Structure 1
Amino acid sequence: MNRTLYTLLFHLGLPLVALRLFLRSRKAPAYARRIKERFAFGLPPMRQGGIWVHAVSVGESIAAAPMVRALLKAYPQQTITLTCMTPTGSERIQALFANEPRIQHCYLPYDLPWAAGRFLDHVRPRLGIIMETELWPNHIHQCARRGIPVVLANARLSERSARGYARFAGLTRPMLAEMNGFAVQTEAEAQRFRDLGARPECVTVTGSIKFDLTIDPQLPVQAAHLREQWQATARPVWIAASTHAGEDESILAAHRQLLASHPQALLILVPRHPERFDSVHELCRQQGFDTVRRSSGQPVTATTTVLLGDTMGELLFLYALADCAFVGGSLVPNGGHNLLEPAALGKPVLSGPHLFNFLEIAAMLRTAGALQQASDPAALAKAVQHLFEQPDQARRMAEAGLQVMKANQGALQRLLALIDRLVA
């Protein structure tokens, strides 16, 4: 497949795109809004020039935030245009940078040449930065036509994804060859990009900027204060965060087993997607758990067994409330989510077996003794129980995670050096 055929198929598939938007809007009404932006019509007024950063959704937006703040500091005269593809990503961007006048935001239009061209002509960036693995052939080609350099930042490419791209070499090789920089997390991933067509001189191993996560020192203080308000200072608390459909049942089964040995245990359950908040709440109630929704403002009491984290932008705070953390997307074959957020907060980290999105980071944490994996509810309950009953072991895991974070920091500065060369 080449880019011409890809573009033709994309146009033919637009009715399916519209249907998908409609179906998603039934669960998340925000998908029915700002549709014109997705085709580069009705874009808000924007200052031209500056740097364009694309972060597809919530996770990438959070990962990009330290880089964006560093760019604002490094280029005080430049505007930063932040784009995403999802309503939750848009909400996160607006919450993170609500008080920053040099940040402007819209959805990134679909990867149609005329839409990509309209967007770029509207914004006219000096440089484009795409987070992680969100590669769009027409957007990249339209940047190349306009002489706009493009960097793939914090780039990831699993072996499975590389095989998928290789099947469409006629599309992939020209696209990667048109890009100007790849800030890649590991050497293995760097070689995959080279094999697929990236120019070798453009590929740099910088590490993962997720190691450069900084924690507000007031966050643990605020969390400890809230647990005091709950009268839960001595109560065992664990969190299952970023869970996907099919995982919540397993998490609740593990919690039920845990309550048999620790009847005061509290689970903080945080679904990954906001459209699932109501259904997960109903699942908790159907299974007989005394559940409080974080969004309700109701206090957690001695009888509360589940706190449903149904708010946006509070995940780090919810991690800070817990004694140990399970990171979701890993009991189902989704590939896992960011293991470093709880590690940075000094929490022992648990996960399921499906971590193909974070293989290297998971290996680092596992080797250091900071990560334990559980493949089913019984194993998860046993792991959480062990951490509750062996505080010294929990402390050693937490300290090991912090050491891994400290040893691997510096990726952000290496990425900024690459960006600075291209901007110059």
Structure 2
Amino acid sequence: MGRWLYSLCLYLALPGVLAFLGYRSLREPGYRSNLRQRFGHVRPDGAQPIWVHAVSVGEVLAAAPMVRRLMARFPEHPIVMTTMTPTGADRVRDVFGDEVAHRYVPYDLPHMVNRFLTRVQPVALVIMETEVWPNMVHACAQRRIPVILANARLSEKSAGGYARLMPLGLPPFHKLDWIAAQAKADAERFVAVGAEPAKVTVTGSIKYDVSIGDQARAAAAGLRELVGEERPVWIAASTHEGEEGPVLEAHSRLLERHPEALLILVPRHPERFGTVARLIGDRGLTMARRAAGDDPAEAQVYLADTMGELLMLFGCARAAFMGGSFIARGGHNPLEAAAWSLPVLSGPHVFNFASVYKQLSTEGGVAFVHDGDELARQLIHFFDEPRLCTAAGERARAVMDANQGALDRLYEGVCWHIRG
């Protein structure tokens, strides 16, 4: 009953969804491309592929190491990756080229999902993190297609919302074949909202298994030489609307103490690059833009208005502020910064990565700040005392090293379900 009520509401909301899609496409033309795929009109790409669903950029990058292992282990099963966003689609193409087929995930309406499954006929579905759609899961269960929730996390806030839907049988966590949870707290929350305890395993977060390749290291070293080896450089990564103001305020304060300092500013969404550039200009700060090939040597702010380079850019900095944390967005993954042995700075809102930040806090690898003033004070402290900055970065790296191995556990579990 609950799923049918959900489907009816979704059918009624579909005109509004399409209108919103049209509005988004005015700023991001990618939303107009392959529109038919969102209705399940896709062409198959090989027999019995492994279907991996990743919402957007972060999930695509997190899934990439597992996908490469699956490609090597099951050459008879091609990989089809679905995303919700054009930036996610771009990242699939950037990371895999023609080795992996990309499709947009269909809207979660019964006939659209069934049309997609009939055409694709996947051997298994691996969903990254939390994107569980009721009709998608139900249709897979009817067709006996194993559904795996990989690298799964569930915040206390989300669990509370799902608990209110349990009388309707939503979301259908009880129909999942395996939930590979990031942490014990995540596993307990999944069970509390309906998952079968025997089908929930704590495998850890695969985001701890960060690997910095030789190409990224070389590119970071080249950019660092261009910027200036001895300059105090910090990065504000994945910032959202409402966060650049405090970040730029903190940098202005830092410049009073360290006039040669450089901020690498990386907005989360590409459609905001122009807005952020104007904010920098309004502050009276000199700016270089990466997409334009500007020389950052004399700039006070280096606007990273490109995609897919964040891991490399961390390698140019001495400290990292993670966006999405000054606002109630829940924070972003700090482990790529930790992989470069950078101390992490964060606002108070980190519920998306609560277990990661808890470990970083316990070991002294993160400093929490509440506004631009506190951020400025912490940056000045780090750059006044570089040995303390280095020590905090090493502690962040130690947390990451101590938690690696989740990728192996997840991969083995996914292989078992595909073979089964």
TM-score scaled by length of structure 2: 0.97
SS at match of 1:52: strand
- 1:314 is matched with 309
Tell me how far apart the structure 2 counterparts of residues 327 and 44 of structure 1 sit (CA, whole Å).
Answer: 39
- 1:118 is matched with 115
Question: Structure 1: which amino acid aligns with 2:410?
Answer: L
Tell me how far apart the structure 2 counterparts of residues 57 and 247 of structure 1 sit (CA, whole Å).
Answer: 21
1:358 aligns with 2:357: no
Superposition pairs of residues 165-204 of structure 1, within 5 angstroms: 165-172=162-169, 175-204=172-201
CA contact (8 A) 1:238 1:268 kept: yes
Q: Which runs of 5+ in 2 are unaligned?
A: none
Aligned structure 1 segments of 4 or more residues deviating by more than 3 angstroms? 170-174
1:4 aligns with 2:1: no
CA contact (8 A) 2:360 2:396 kept: yes
- 1:33 is matched with 33
- 1:72 is matched with 71
C-alpha deviations, 1:307-354, integer Å up to 9, x for none? 111101101111111111111000111000001010011111111111
Tell me how far apart the structure 1 counterparts of residues 239 and 384 of structure 2 sit (CA, whole Å).
Answer: 25
Cα distance, 1:87 vs structure 2 = 0.6
Tell me how far apart the structure 1 counterparts of residues 65 and 147 of structure 2 sit (CA, whole Å).
Answer: 19
Cα distance, 1:171 vs structure 2 = 4.0
CA contact (8 A) 2:346 2:368 kept: yes
CA contact (8 A) 1:173 1:198 kept: no
Cα distance, 1:173 vs structure 2 = 5.1
Question: Structure 2: which amino acid aligns with 1:275?
Answer: E
Cα distance, 1:76 vs structure 2 = 2.6
Tell me how far apart the structure 2 counterparts of residues 87 and 203 of structure 1 sit (CA, whole Å).
Answer: 32
Change in CA separation of 1:271 and 1:172 when aligned onto 2, cut-off 3 Å: farther
Cα distance, 1:144 vs structure 2 = 0.7
- 2:21 is matched with 21
- 2:89 is matched with 90
Change in CA separation of 1:134 and 1:251 when aligned onto 2, cut-off 3 Å: same
Choose 66-75 or 275-284, whichever is displaced more: 66-75
Cα distance, 1:50 vs structure 2 = 2.5
SS at match of 1:357: helix
Change in CA separation of 1:45 and 1:421 when aligned onto 2, cut-off 3 Å: closer
Tell me how far apart the structure 1 counterparts of residues 74 and 129 of structure 2 sit (CA, whole Å).
Answer: 22
Question: Structure 1: which amino acid aligns with 2:239?
Answer: T
CA contact (8 A) 1:165 1:172 kept: no
Change in CA separation of 1:70 and 1:171 when aligned onto 2, cut-off 3 Å: farther
Cα distance, 1:138 vs structure 2 = 0.3
Cα distance, 1:202 vs structure 2 = 0.8
Cα distance, 1:172 vs structure 2 = 4.1
C-alpha deviations, 1:89-140, integer Å up to 9, x for none? 111111000152xx11110011011111111111111110000010100000
Tell me how far apart the structure 2 counterparts of residues 233 and 279 of structure 1 sit (CA, whole Å).
Answer: 30
Tell me how far apart the structure 2 counterparts of residues 301 and 214 of structure 1 sit (CA, whole Å).
Answer: 28
Cα distance, 1:83 vs structure 2 = 0.5
Tell me how far apart the structure 2 counterparts of residues 421 and 381 of structure 1 sit (CA, whole Å).
Answer: 50
1:408 aligns with 2:403: yes
CA contact (8 A) 2:134 2:170 kept: no
Choose 247-256 or 67-76, whichever is displaced more: 67-76
CA contact (8 A) 2:25 2:32 kept: yes
Change in CA separation of 1:277 and 1:72 when aligned onto 2, cut-off 3 Å: same
C-alpha deviations, 1:392-419, integer Å up to 9, x for none? 1111111111211111111111111211
Tell me how far apart the structure 2 counterparts of residues 76 and 45 of structure 1 sit (CA, whole Å).
Answer: 17
C-alpha deviations, 1:174-199, integer Å up to 9, x for none? 71221100000111211211121111
1:279 aligns with 2:275: yes
- 1:47 is matched with 46
SS at match of 1:148: coil
1:371 aligns with 2:370: no
Match of 1:390 among 385, 409, 414: 385
CA contact (8 A) 2:148 2:177 kept: yes
Change in CA separation of 1:74 and 1:177 when aligned onto 2, cut-off 3 Å: same
Cα distance, 1:45 vs structure 2 = 4.4
Change in CA separation of 1:16 and 1:99 when aligned onto 2, cut-off 3 Å: closer
Tell me how far apart the structure 1 counterparts of residues 343 and 408 of structure 2 sit (CA, whole Å).
Answer: 28
Q: Which runs of 5+ in 1 are unaligned?
A: none
Match of 2:229 among 217, 229, 233: 233
Change in CA separation of 1:385 and 1:99 when aligned onto 2, cut-off 3 Å: farther
C-alpha deviations, 1:16-67, integer Å up to 9, x for none? 10121122122212112221111112x2442131211000011111111111
Match of 1:247 among 243, 250, 268: 243
CA contact (8 A) 1:323 1:347 kept: yes
CA contact (8 A) 1:53 1:82 kept: yes
Tell me how far apart the structure 1 counterparts of residues 169 and 412 of structure 2 sit (CA, whole Å).
Answer: 26
1:328 aligns with 2:323: yes
- 1:420 is matched with 415
Question: Structure 2: which amino acid aligns with 1:252?
Answer: L
SS at match of 1:334: coil
Cα distance, 1:82 vs structure 2 = 0.5
Change in CA separation of 1:382 and 1:174 when aligned onto 2, cut-off 3 Å: closer
Choose 171-180 or 85-94, whichever is displaced more: 171-180
Tell me how far apart the structure 1 counterparts of residues 279 and 226 of structure 2 sit (CA, whole Å).
Answer: 27
Question: Structure 2: which amino acid aligns with 1:407?
Answer: A
How many pairs are equivalent?
Answer: 419
- 1:60 is matched with 59
Tell me how far apart the structure 2 counterparts of residues 48 and 291 of structure 1 sit (CA, whole Å).
Answer: 51
CA contact (8 A) 1:109 1:119 kept: yes
SS at match of 1:295: coil
- Among all aligned residue pairs of Structure 1 and Structure 2, give the percentage whose two residues are the same amino acid: 49
Match of 2:256 among 254, 260, 265: 260
Question: Structure 2: which amino acid aligns with 1:261?
Answer: R
CA contact (8 A) 1:132 1:155 kept: yes
Change in CA separation of 1:189 and 1:406 when aligned onto 2, cut-off 3 Å: same
